[in-house]
Amino acid sequence: MLLHSVVDTSVAVAATRSRRTKIDLLRELLDRAEPHEVESVVSWLSGEMTQGRLGVGFRTLAALSAPVAAEPTLSVDQVSGLLDRLAGISGPGSAAARQHLLMELFEQATEAEQRFLVALLGGELRQGALEGVMTDAVAAAAGLAVEPVRRAVMLSGRLAQAAAAAFEGGVDALAGFGLELGRPVRPMLASPAESLDAALTEFDGAVSVEYKLDGARIQVHRRDDAVWIFTRTLRDITTSVPELVDLVRALPCRSVVLDGETLALTDSGRPRPFQETMSRFGARSERELLLHPYFFDCLHLDGDDLLDEPLSVRLDHLARVAGEHRIPTLVAPDADSAEAHLGDSLGNGHEGVMVKSLTSTYTAGRRGRAWQKVKPEHTLDLVVLAAEWGYGRRTGFLSNLHLGARDPDGGPPIMVGKTFKGLTDALLQWQTEEFPRYESHRDEHTVHLRPAIVVEIELDGVQTSSRYPGGVALRFARVLRYRPDKSAGDADTIDAVRALLPTAPVSGTGLP
């Protein structure tokens, strides 16, 4: 298969908002791919590379001045091989070697292929083939039901790898993906609840109600003395959190996989600001600021995988292995007890509570109704699209933020508002230093960014608006904090924003 077939499909997928059309386009391309090409094609159209990070910056790519090939000749295998070589470059002279190899690649590419490669290598490819769309397309092209593909993605943590298995070995190959100690599982996600009473009623009281901590999501694995700690984005931070490693190694078990949160506490036991917790994840060694884990789920214990067991069973195993490190939880409480638990959580400086169905299995990577979060204020995780240069006291600083919600069908983020409220002097300084690293272009007043930075916004609500393409606008939005633990793919969708309207419109990404 030639690269230009992938590029043509990418352009076509980006040009439609129809989920069905996206899936059909991707399926048609995968139907033409050789089995050994599937992993690369799926990876690229998901905006990723099988090789991971290649040490190539976006500005380096944008500055390339390679001549344009007149006709498409590059094959998928050729590009994959060149990227493998690029990933293997290190040591003295590596920058020049990368530059030489990039020129070799780009000189063989047409103009459209060069644009595609710049976006892919620079982490800016946003043509609308998000994981859910691509998973459905892989299943359709391989002639399989979608659930086995989704499960393999959950357990492998890599869509492209699961896709390759689907084409090479079908259901039997997908069944070979199991929970593997040391390989993180995609985390299960929660949806916002209308209210505590509504969540309790939906499950007829058969729920657990636990504190919703203002911490950072972690997943811990242990096999004998070997321990791994992963973030919600599946990044390995084991070497940065030795106190968590020691704690997990001391648990009364031989092997375990736990899901939970970690946070730093003040001397009085209250949570420190989220940014202080996240600062530990980039450290190379233990610092004075210690992290405390609080677990809420058990996915494996002493040889038994528990993903398909109901939450009630998983909680029993959690109590046995990590009872003293559990998040404060009530099981099947009455309404008054649940309300009191919410009050206690807020009173202790936390965000609210999580309400979870006791019959739910662990379904990773999807925001279902089985887990619901109850918070007293409206907050949204949005993508920073741009920042305007400030004036007056803020002259010289990047200030007013342009905010976008995620398109659930994989298109670029959809702008829903602006804000400069809540920005401290420290945040203004940080934005001005950090944002240019993600710059795509700028004009006299504004620096536009690649969709990579997620910010948590507090707001009083939303209103209909013809000013923004999603048909809604934020009301009295203010910055709470940045979320370095989240990627643009974790941001809230435009549907989540619209759900905050007094009367929510029908779901979808087109104009209401």
Model pLDDT, residue 414 = 94
The verdict on whether residue 158 carries a ligand-binding annotation is: no
Please tell me whether residues 332 and 354 are part of one structural domain.
Answer: yes
How many separate domains does the chain show? Answer: 3
Look up 22 and say whether it is catalytic: no
Question: According to the model, what pLDDT value does residue 502 have?
Answer: 66
* Domain final residue, candidates 153, 176, 199: 176
- 429 shares its domain with 368: no
Domain span at residue 266 reads: 189-374
171 plus 245 within the same structural domain: no
Asked if residue 302 belongs to a domain, the reply is: yes
Same domain, 98 and 228: no
Q: Beta-strand (E) ranges in 265-328?
A: 291-301, 304-305
Same domain, 353 and 264: yes
Which residues of the chain are modeled with pLDDT < 70? Answer: 55, 57-59, 62, 124, 126-129, 275, 281-288, 365-367, 502-512
The pLDDT value given to residue 126: 64
Contact 212, 351 (CB under 8 A): yes
Q: Is 393 labeled as ligand-binding?
A: no
Residue 511 domain-assigned? Answer: no
* Stretch (H or E) spanning 295: strand 291-301
Angle, CA 39 vertex, CA 107 and CA 41 arms, to 5°: 45
Whichever domain contains 84, its CATH number is 1.10.3260.10
CATH code, 386? 2.40.50.140
Residue 507 within any structural domain of the chain:
no
Query: Residue 209 falls within a domain, yes or no?
Result: yes
SS3 at position 130: coil
Residue 111 maps to a domain: yes
Same domain for 370 and 382, yes or no, is no
Q: Do residues 333 and 386 share a domain?
A: no
Residue 504 is predicted with a pLDDT of 40
* pLDDT tens digits for range 298-323: 999 999 999 999 999 999 999 999 99
Q: Is 217 annotated as a binding residue?
A: yes
Q: At 456, which amino acid appears?
A: E
Looking at the fold, whether 242 and 166 belong to one and the same domain comes out as no
Domain identity same for 241 and 194: yes
Q: Is residue 183 part of a domain?
A: no
Gap between the Cα atoms of 76 and 160, Å rounded: 14
Give yes or no: residues 346 and 389 share one domain.
Answer: no
Chosen domain end from 148, 176, 204: 176
**CB distance 437 to 450 below 8 Å:** no
261-293: pLDDT as tens digits: 998 877 777 777 776 777 776 554 445 577 899
Does residue 327 fall inside a structural domain? yes
Exactly one of 22, 212, 418, 486 is catalytic; which is it? 212
Q: 411 with 485, same domain? A: yes
261 is in an annotated binding site: yes
DSSP-derived 3-state class of residue 267:
coil
Tokens 């943590």, residue located = 157
pLDDT of res. 55: 66
Q: Give the tokens for residue 41.
A: 């094609």
Residues 417 and 340 in one domain: no
Q: Is 421 annotated as a binding residue?
A: no
The CATH number of the domain holding residue 323 is 3.30.470.30
Domain final residue, candidates 350, 374, 398? 374
Domain presence at residue 74: yes
Neighbours of 107 (CB within 10 A): 13
